[in-house]
Amino acid sequence: MHYRHQGIVALALALCTAAPLRAADDVRPLLPLSLDELIAIPVTTASRRAEAREQTPAHIMVITREQMRDRRYKNLADLLEDLPGVDFQRGTRSTQYNNFVFQGNVSNNKLLIMLDGVRIDHPAGGKIPIAENFSLHFARQVEVLYGPAAALYGADALAGVINIITDKGGEAGSKVALGAGSFGSLEGDFLASGKFGEAIGITAGAHYQKSDRAPLDNYYPDDFPKVNARTFGGTVVVPAVQREDYTGSISSQSQYLRIDAGERLTLGFQRNRFRSLSSTGDRPSSALYLESAYWDTTIDTWHARYRFNINASLSSETLVDYSRYELDPKSRYINIFTDFANHGYDYAYGRRAGIEQNLNWRASDTHSVLAGIGYRNYHAIEAPDLPRPYDTGKSPNEQGMNYPNTNLPLQIFEARYHSWSGYLQWQAQWTPDFSTVAGLRHDWYSTYGGSTNPRLGLVWQVLPGNFIKLLYGEAFRTPSPEESYSAFGSFNNLGNPTGTFRAPNTDLQPEKSRTWSATWDWRPLRNFNLVANAYLTEVDNVIVTRANATPIQYIPGTVLTATDSKQNSGNDRYQGIDIIPQWQMHLGGPWTADFWGSYSYVKGSFRETANGPELEQINIAAHKVKLGLTLRYQDWLTITPRVQWIDDTTTGAINRVQNDRVRKTDDYTLASLHIGLHKLADERLSLYLDVYNLFDRRYYAAHTSSSSAVMQAMPQQPRTLMGTLEYRF
């Protein structure tokens, strides 16, 4: 696999040096927006058109460029960790690295991630790392929509939507930043923006990050002892005295490009790549912590958007996008499931290409209609453990491999499918204080059939600055090829397990959710805002891993026994409330302060069968408190402490039938401190000092797996320091 960065780097240099370039003459101001300005910022995610936050019935949060800078949200992981209603668990599993829960919805494949309204997450719906790879150095603002949004965006917008909004090409400002810190941490990014003539605006950027991370065996010796590495048969592969030290290095990179030709045409590209060790989250007895055993994923997304006005009240937008996901063929595991041998190579591929045609009709001053149709084509490849790296120059049927230690032909699955969609949304402003929205979307998949999802909401301004919002919505999540072609077990006539395999479950159906929410948005004072969002979500056809009742026979020459596979079983139920205050204060003289925070409560339950017991949902902390304060001395100095308290959290089912879930991570309080010195070196240079885990607390994050081979509670980083220089030009 090859990653070519020369093109975008050359483009950035051209933007900085080319004679025709007309860059901005001034440096972007550093002062934050007032609460009046923050509330008035137009949002586009909730209704696919620009509107004030108070106009939409959905609960939506907006994080601005200035807030991201002062709070040091350098990537989506940083931002998500500080959001209300989110349980963020870092470094817990190789295939997704950071697991998180969004208002009770477990796993990152239930939250849609977009860039300017274009999907940039897994094109085939699988799990991906959401970590340092989703850099925010080019973002103008991030809009976080809570609740289902399938009526507008289709599949996988089950829990909500994150939409990264960027500036028009040539209007972003330019900067470069370099940072270094604890445990060999290095990071850097640049953004170059300018115009060629009056019509063409270009913005290009890139980021790179690497870290050895902490040697957790030194900080948590009881969790990472030097023990024998044994196979399932009990054979000692590596004696304890020869065991390697724990390592946990990660690296990430991203590239970004936006070109605007006038007001009508926008071209865009975004790439994110993340690499971590495949032993992340594994017990020392079950895996070897080797740098050569890693998990490396890349997602590329290209898009083109063309806009034009048909008449004064009717506008059109055509969107074409193409996205590709690929796992580096050299990615592999060296663990107990591969007998600690070299046959644990893995490979996965996903591609999506689509076109959408959207219309916006302003029927009158009080009524508007949005409508659109779309078509998407998908291609995915899913492989089991491979004896050697996948040859990307050959098709799955041409790989010519056998299952390890057998003469059985290895099965690699290839899925090709497509979908159609159509939606309609009507918004009405009945009075200056009362509005409604009604929407409906139908999606049809060649693999699963159709799903129709409505959306109904209202907004009522009870008193000036006092809004009540009610919303009902449905959503669905399509089974990814990763789930449809996933199973685990052993060959019944070959003795001990010989690695993993994949078996199809073509009957797997989408998950379907229903959510009711009520939001109270209250502004009793000009510099104080309080939002309370209560919700109830029910999810049917939940996809879980269950034992197969009968053997599976699809590989010539053998029968698969003792197998597990992904199946639809039972339903989830989540109920909770987020309370979110924001308060801006003048402290006297040149000092001001911006306070924000949240209290979140959520209760989740799961029934595996209709008549089965109600089980406590895992990985959800019932109570969470998150607080932050930015102190500002004019536009010279910012000091931002952040504190979060996370309640104890169940870590996995030991016995789902008996509801034996006694293992929990203890509650913990975690603090960070972020200091920014601005207006240095002719007012263009800023210096940042970031201290994470300020009081060096030893704490654990809950995990997603009930496997005994995986840690139920993953030790987290000790105190970490990072210093960064940023130059704006």
- Contact between 90 and 281 under an 8 Å Cβ cutoff? The reply is no
pLDDT at 507: 85
Least Cα distance to 499 among 346, 282, 347 occurs for 346
Per mean pLDDT, which of 28-32, 408-412, 494-498 is the most reliable?
408-412
* Full DSSP string of 118-144: EE-S-TTS-----STTSB-TTEEEEEE
- 488-497, 566-575, 676-685, 714-723: which has the minimum mean pLDDT? 488-497
Alpha-helix residue ranges (DSSP H) falling in 382-518: 481-484
The mean pLDDT of 100-126, rounded to a whole number, is 91
Binning pLDDT at 50, 70 and 90, where does residue 453 land? very high
Q: Which of 54-58, 102-106, 293-297, 401-405 reaches the highest mean pLDDT?
A: 293-297
Q: What single DSSP character describes residue 494?
A: S
Give the residue from 498, 491, 484 showing the smallest Cα distance to 545.
484
Report the distance separating Cα 21 and Cα 537, nearest Å.
51
Question: What are phi and psi for residue 262, nearest 5 degrees?
Answer: 70, -150
Q: What is the pLDDT, as a whole number, of residue 490? A: 58
Say if residue 482's pLDDT is above 90: no
**Is 194 within 8 Å of 15 (Cβ atoms)?**
yes
Q: What is the pLDDT of residue 683?
A: 86
Structure confidence at residue 159 (pLDDT): 93
pLDDT, average across residues 253-277 = 97
Cα 429 to Cα 368: distance, rounded to the nearest angstrom:
9
Counting Cα atoms < 13 Å in the Cβ hemisphere of 590 gives: 8
Reported as a pLDDT band with limits 50, 70 and 90, residue 28 is low
Task: Note the pLDDT of residue 236.
Answer: 93
Task: Read off the pLDDT of residues 348-378 as tens digits, 9 standing for 90 and up.
Answer: 999 999 999 999 999 999 999 999 999 999 9
Q: What is the largest CA-CA distance in the chain?
A: 82
Return phi, psi of residue 516, to 5°.
-110, 135
Q: Which of 192-206, 419-433, 471-485, 609-623 shows the lowest per-residue confidence on average (mean pLDDT)?
A: 609-623
User: Does pTM surpass 0.75?
Assistant: yes
Residue 504: strand pairing partners: none
Q: What are the E-state strand segments in 647-682?
A: 649-650, 664-665, 668-680
Parallel, antiparallel or unpaired: strands 160-166 and 111-115: parallel
Mean pLDDT across 476-488: 84
CA dihedral 265, 269, 270, 273 (to 10 degrees): 170
The region of weakest confidence among 247-256, 688-697, 702-711 is: 702-711
Query: 152 has which bridge partners?
Result: none
* Mean per-residue pLDDT, 100-117: 90
How far is Cα 633 from Cα 567, in angstroms, rounded to an integer?
A: 57
Beta strands in 383-506 (DSSP E): 413-431, 434-445, 449-463, 466-477, 487-491
d(CA 548, CA 489): 10
Determine the average pLDDT of the residues in 689-694. Answer: 98
More confident of the two residues 489 and 193: 193
So what's the pLDDT on residue 17? 39
pLDDT at 489: 58
Decide which of 3.40.50.920, 3.40.50.2300, 1.10.10.10, 2.40.170.20 is the CATH code for 6-728: 2.40.170.20
Does the pLDDT at position 502 exceed 70? no
- Kindly state the average pLDDT of the residues 511-520: 96
Contact 218, 183 (CB under 8 A): no
Tokens 């977009």 belong to which residue? 114
Amino acid sitting at position 162: I
Task: Report helix, strand or coil for 278.
Answer: coil
Q: Of 353-357, 476-480, 533-537, 636-640, which gets the smallest average pLDDT?
A: 476-480
HSE-up (13 A, CA, CB side) for residue 116: 23
Q: Alpha-carbon distance 496 to 406, whole Å?
A: 12
Q: What is the pLDDT of residue 20?
A: 41
Task: Give the residues across from 425 on adjacent strands.
Answer: 370, 439
Q: How far apart are CA 534 and CA 520, in angstroms?
A: 9
Look at phi and psi of residue 542 and say left if phi exceeds 0, alpha if psi is from -120 to 50, else beta: beta
Residue 99 has pLDDT above 50, yes or no: yes
CB 115 within 8 A of CB 166: yes
Residue 722 CA: distances (Å) to CA of 132, 179, 188, 479, 698: 14, 7, 12, 40, 19
Q: What is the H or E stretch that residue 219 is in?
A: helix 216-219
- pLDDT reported for residue 2: 42
Amino acid at 672: S
- Report helix, strand and coil shares of the chain as percent, to nearest 5: 10, 55, 40
Q: How far is CA 579 from CA 85, 365, 602, in A?
A: 9, 34, 12
Contact yes or no for 233/217 (Cβ under 8 A)? no
The set of long-range contacts for 75-80, using a CB threshold of 8 Å and a minimum separation of 24, is 75/131, 75/132, 75/133, 75/134, 75/135, 75/136, 76/113, 76/130, 76/131, 76/134, 76/136, 76/142, 76/162, 77/130, 77/131, 77/132, 77/134, 79/136, 79/142, 80/130, 80/162
With tokens 């020392």, the residue in question is 284
Token readout for 576 is 């909770």
Q: Which two tokens stand for residue 35?
A: 């609460």
Higher pLDDT among residues 45 and 490, named by residue: 45
Q: CA 133 to CA 454: how far, in whole Å?
A: 34
What is the token pair recorded at 46? 């909730």
C-alpha 89, offset from chain centre:
12
Q: Are 479 and 509 in contact (CB under 8 A)?
A: yes
Q: Report the distance separating Cα 274 and Cα 297, nearest Å.
A: 6
Distance CA 673, CA 125 (A): 36
Nearest to 540, CA basis, from 567, 566, 514, 575: 514
Q: What is the reported pLDDT for 11?
A: 40
Residue in this structure with the two tokens 């074409």, named with its chain if needed: 320
- CA 270, CA 256: separation in Å to the nearest integer? 5
Compute the C-alpha angle 460/464/470, nearest 5°: 20
Beta-carbon contacts of 135 under 8 Å, excluding residues fewer than 6 positions away, are 74, 75, 189, 207, 209, 252, 254, 272
Q: Calculate the average pLDDT of the chain.
A: 89
Retrieve residue 5's tokens. 């960065």
State the first-to-last Cα distance of the chain, in angstroms, to the nearest integer: 35
Average pLDDT of 390-410?
Answer: 88
Q: What is the pLDDT of residue 547?
A: 77
